[in-house]
Amino acid sequence: MLRQRLSLFLAALWWGGITALSFLAVPLLFASLGSPAVAGPVAARIFSLQCWAGLLIGVALLLLLRGTQAPGGDERPVIAAEALTTMGFVLLAMLLALLQEFGVAQKIVTARASGGDLRFWHGVGSAMVLVQWLCAGAVLWRLGAAPAGQPR
């Protein structure tokens, strides 16, 4: 029961964090500060922190979803079939966060400095954040629908 509640809490924190930061705080930064040159580095820092928070939450969720010990003294954890799909959403979101942090973010910095295709890389980064948000939402939805004691 504690494992299920903690998983649900972490999923809610993850989805809510992406929602608040990506869809509220960052647009508000650009609207309030007026200059993309001023707001851009702050937004980049927020996305970087969001990436690392998502990775930490993702690891915690994977550990919580991995299951319980098999009966009969087997030391290997048992993973419910429903939990595998949820774990897949967690892993996909974590992979996208890493790609965004170490790939797309660097392309945005390079494009800004060299006059490259900044619009394209911002679009790719935005799409990655959207998919991470959808994955975190799917995890939250599945965990919220799980019967007591059975993570999905």
Residue 152 forms part of a structural domain? no
Residue 118 forms part of a structural domain? yes
pLDDT value of residue 151: 55
Higher pLDDT, 36 or 58: 58
Residue 116 forms part of a structural domain? yes
**DSSP 3-state of 67:** coil
pLDDT value of residue 89: 97
Mean pLDDT across the stretch 27-46? 91
HSE-CB at 111 with a 13 A cutoff on CA atoms is 16
Residue 139 forms part of a structural domain? yes
d(CA 109, CA 92): 24
Using one digit for the tens of pLDDT, what is the confidence trace for 79-120? 677 788 999 999 999 999 999 999 999 999 898 889 888 899
Q: 146 pLDDT exceeds 70?
A: no
- Which among 88, 110, 97 is positioned nearest to 17, based on CA atoms? 97
- Which among 92, 86, 84 is positioned nearest to 128, based on CA atoms? 92
- pTM (2 d.p.): 0.85
Domain count, the chain: 1
Q: Using pLDDT thresholds of 50, 70 and 90, give the confidence band for residue 7.
A: very high
Residue 150 forms part of a structural domain? no
Query: Domain containing 46: what range?
Result: 2-145
Question: Where does residue 115 fall: left (phi above 0), alpha (psi -120 to 50 degrees), or beta otherwise?
Answer: left
d(CA 96, CA 9): 22
